[in-house]
Structure 1
Amino acid sequence: MDNLVSVSLRERGGRFHAVFYDPDRGQKWRTLRTSDRREANKRIRIAEDLVSRGDFDPWESPIPDRYATLRGAADLYLAEREKGQLSRNTIRSDRSALGGLCSHMGPAAKVRAVTSDRVKLYFRELIDDECADSTLRTYHTRFKHFFEWCRRERLVRRNPLDGVPRPAVSDALPRFLSHAEFDALVGAVYSDAEAKARGVVDGERSKHTSLHDGDIVWLAEVFFVAVETGLRRGELCAMEWSWVDMASRSIWVPANRRTYSDKDSFGPKSRRSRRVPFGAGSGTEAVLQRLHDETGGKSGPVFVGQRGGPLDGDYVSKRFKEYAGQAGLSEDYVFHTLRHTCASWLVMAGRHLVEVKEILGHASIDTTVRWYAHLDPTRLNAAADATFGRNGDRLRQARCGGR
């Protein structure tokens, strides 16, 4: 480094800066674009090296670094996101969305090269590839958050997503299983369990008969609990015995986010704890009672995976798709469909939407109404009958009395 130029690390407004000093040119502050001291020390060493080689003049331009590229900025953004209280699914979604944009723009693309028109072009390509509306909306949200972070870090002057309208919400209502379809789903599990117990796999006798009924039937039990409680996949896999109260027949879902495996974590979207009841004589009560009797129900996960820890959510989803296919169900059905099925069955059985909201843990009743109110038109008729049902008699009596 030039002997006449010195550099020091300073913090101002929660962000770190490199302060360069030259006896002839005075002092010059340059942002290091980070609030992390360790990262700031790495960047200031890079700046010192660039100055010493004559590749950088602090008085002429900002500190150049690898984060000026789109991929580099995305790496830094994801690293900072991983330090926050975010689920691993959210981080994976961020990584997937930004990875696709980086591939579209090219490996050496600069952050400032991403314009509203380029993002619109990328969205058009996704639409041509028959990307789902929900995925497009998720990508829009991920990109908007990322470029807002870039704007705060002064990597871009404006957020390019400000000029890209968010894809419209689909009018499609959530799909749910009929009782016959659910019976077919669990029937496929039982049939597979029986076949494996006999050593028959895919219609042919297998040389290996190590699998027995219990190795597969537990999936049917998971499906029963999911459809009767409306628990999300992460909540179901993370469920511990400390949440379960057999006496009051309820499951207490905590509000705080927690990790339940080496790659999964969960936290209610509403960030509120909730009590989820299960009925007397229900499949959920039978499953939990059996597991409670076997394990003592003192601690640890309710549903135990193959390695003794909590269930793997991706594995459960994969097996659901397999058995849904064997049962001849729609390819659109996913494990989350069981949650929609729970809500739909409750509404069709006459339960109030507020009760359904509390069981599912929706943050707003608007969500419950938008997705499930159409399933109970008789409730609207009953409300009209109770409020205005006698007005017809009053009018008829008034007309008769006036004659």
Structure 2
Amino acid sequence: MSSVRINTRKDGSTYTQILFREFDPAKGRRVQASISFDDHGAALRWQKILEQVGPEKARAMLDIEQTTAAEKVVTLNDSWAETYISGLTGVEEATRTRYRRYMERDIGPAMGDLPLSSLCAVTADQNSVVQEWVNEMELDGFAPKTIQNKHAFLSGCLRAAVKRQLMPFNPCEDTRMPKARRERVFLEPSEFDVLYEAVPQKWKPMVLFLVTTGARYSEATALRVGDLVRQTDHDGKTFWTCRISKAWKYTGTSERKLGGPKTARGYRTINVPAETVAELDLAGRGKEELVFQTRTGKRIIPQQFFNLAWKPAVEAVADRIGKKPRVHDLRHTCASWMLNNGAEITDVSAHLGHESIKTTVDVYGHLDRRSGHRASTAISRALVQTAVRPVA
């Protein structure tokens, strides 16, 4: 803890003194210390830095600031972050809102009042301010993806500051980021049966739809009854298609708005198994009604589905199936079922709405063993021409 004292010199001028305690290596204990400022505002700002980072690091930052040419001290909170956010082009207002929320809730309290140049300083254990911030978020239980998103914004902000020569380099470039803790989960049909049985009856149709269509949660919950169409093929057999052209979008608030799918190829028409449609109870419903909705006809928010349906079901069967799938893993499971039952990977890519076939191959290529089988068969044929005897 520190305190502020305003003193008067003999000439009548005043100065502000910040009193605090710090460790003295020579004495082997904490001792009373102080630093004086002619500018009261600068003193209060330095006191805030002191409270955030401790005496040792605060002194180092003050030294950097005092040895810098007499320029206006620029901080993230004071001006730079907002200058950067306001100057971004090609982004929606919701993205700016999200970045401002990062500043308000996460970055600002941690390092927003530090001079930009001092963000390049390191602590006694050779960590940067940014690295310590990342480490603390990880300890607080933030998901790796969430940390990456916040860090990516900060990195872009500081990269722009380097270009403006407001700081010597971007400390974010050397940050050690947490590794993802969860791998994709692919459910076998028998494992899905166990999980499906544990899902409350009210939520079964949605779970079945997600696993048999591979639709993203934001896409499935944006579907209207009219998006599902019963059709007839040349042989007179009926089948169902679903037009996916909308998804719920983040707005920077608790509300969501309808927008397009995640990618350009996300606009797609897919076939839906008749068994899935039969569980949706579409009879007599208006075309503009949401397929999955609350009792009042509103969208089902993710937290509602997770808390009332998904989490209880997974917790009930995790020991039996040896897996803890996320909701998004139903999409992965859909892809694995298609590949394991004869679908080409190009079919899977179009069905899931991936922007590029490369995305599909990178994520699911290891599940399609047909190409591997063809390769090994070709090698076996070649071995016939060698002295190696084939296995009987």
> Shared topology, TM-score over 0.5?
yes
Look up the match of 1:195. none
**1:295 and 2:285 equivalent?**
yes
Q: How does 1:2-401 map to 2 (within 5 A)?
A: 68-70=75-77, 74=81, 84-85=91-92, 92=98, 95-96=101-102, 99-105=105-111, 108-115=113-120, 117-128=128-139, 132-148=143-159, 156-157=166-167, 160-161=170-171, 163-165=173-175, 167=177, 173-190=183-200, 217-247=201-231, 249-254=240-245, 263-265=255-257, 267-283=260-276, 285-288=277-280, 290-291=281-282, 293-296=283-286, 298-319=287-308, 320-328=310-318, 332-385=324-377, 391=382
Tell me the distance in 1 between the aligned counterparts of 2:181 and 2:366.
Answer: 13
Tell me the distance in 2 between the aligned counterparts of 1:83 and 1:124.
Answer: 31
Indicate the SS of the match to 1:245: strand
Q: CA deviation at 1:239?
A: 1.5
Q: CA deviation at 1:349?
A: 1.9
Amino acid in structure 1 at the alignment position of 2:92: Q
Indicate the SS of the match to 1:327: helix
Amino acid in structure 2 at the alignment position of 1:147: L
Tell me the distance in 2 between the aligned counterparts of 1:334 and 1:72.
Answer: 40
- Structure-2 change in CA distance of 1:280 and 1:129 (3 Å): closer
CA offset digits 1:80-116 (Å, max 9, x no partner)? 889943667x9558735873333333x6434554337
Indicate the SS of the match to 1:252: strand
- Structure-2 change in CA distance of 1:114 and 1:169 (3 Å): same
Tell me the distance in 1 between the aligned counterparts of 2:142 and 2:334.
Answer: 27
Please report the TM-score for the alignment, with normalisation by the length of structure 1: 0.60
Q: Name the stretch that deviates more: 344-353 or 116-125.
A: 116-125
Q: CA deviation at 1:302?
A: 1.7
- Structure-2 change in CA distance of 1:122 and 1:390 (3 Å): same
Kept in 2: contact 1:321–1:333 (CA 8 A): no
CA offset digits 1:207-266 (Å, max 9, x no partner)? xxxxxxxxxx33111000001111111111111234333326222222787579962246
Q: CA deviation at 1:141?
A: 1.9
- Structure-2 change in CA distance of 1:151 and 1:221 (3 Å): farther
Amino acid in structure 1 at the alignment position of 2:119: V
- Structure-2 change in CA distance of 1:131 and 1:61 (3 Å): closer
Aligned residues: 300
Kept in 2: contact 1:237–1:310 (CA 8 A): yes
Please report the TM-score for the alignment, with normalisation by the length of structure 2: 0.62
Tell me the distance in 2 between the aligned counterparts of 1:339 and 1:312.
Answer: 18
- Structure-2 change in CA distance of 1:68 and 1:231 (3 Å): same
- Structure-2 change in CA distance of 1:230 and 1:80 (3 Å): farther
Kept in 2: contact 1:301–1:310 (CA 8 A): yes
Tell me the distance in 2 between the aligned counterparts of 1:108 and 1:259.
Answer: 29
- Structure-2 change in CA distance of 1:259 and 1:371 (3 Å): closer
CA offset digits 1:303-333 (Å, max 9, x no partner)? 1223322221221233311221133366842
CA offset digits 1:342-374 (Å, max 9, x no partner)? 112222223221211111122222322222222
Q: Name the stretch that deviates more: 373-382 or 349-358.
A: 373-382
Tell me the distance in 1 between the aligned counterparts of 2:349 and 2:134.
Answer: 34
Indicate the SS of the match to 2:274: coil
Kept in 2: contact 1:151–1:157 (CA 8 A): yes
- Structure-2 change in CA distance of 1:129 and 1:168 (3 Å): closer
- Structure-2 change in CA distance of 1:102 and 1:235 (3 Å): same
Q: CA deviation at 1:121?
A: 2.4
- What is the alpha-carbon root mean square deviation over aligned residues? 4.0
CA offset digits 1:4-50 (Å, max 9, x no partner)? xxxxxxxxxxxxxxxxxxxxxxxxxxxxxxxxxxxxxxxxxxxxxxx
Tell me the distance in 1 between the aligned counterparts of 2:250 and 2:227.
Answer: 15
CA offset digits 1:260-282 (Å, max 9, x no partner)? 99622464332333324234433
Amino acid in structure 2 at the alignment position of 1:314: Q
- Unpaired segments of 5 or more residues in structure 2? 1-69, 122-127, 232-238, 388-392
- Structure-2 change in CA distance of 1:326 and 1:273 (3 Å): same
- Unpaired segments of 5 or more residues in structure 1? 1-59, 191-216, 397-403
Amino acid in structure 1 at the alignment position of 2:305: V
Indicate the SS of the match to 1:362: coil
Kept in 2: contact 1:81–1:91 (CA 8 A): no
Q: CA deviation at 1:339?
A: 1.1
Tell me the distance in 1 between the aligned counterparts of 2:185 and 2:373.
Answer: 24
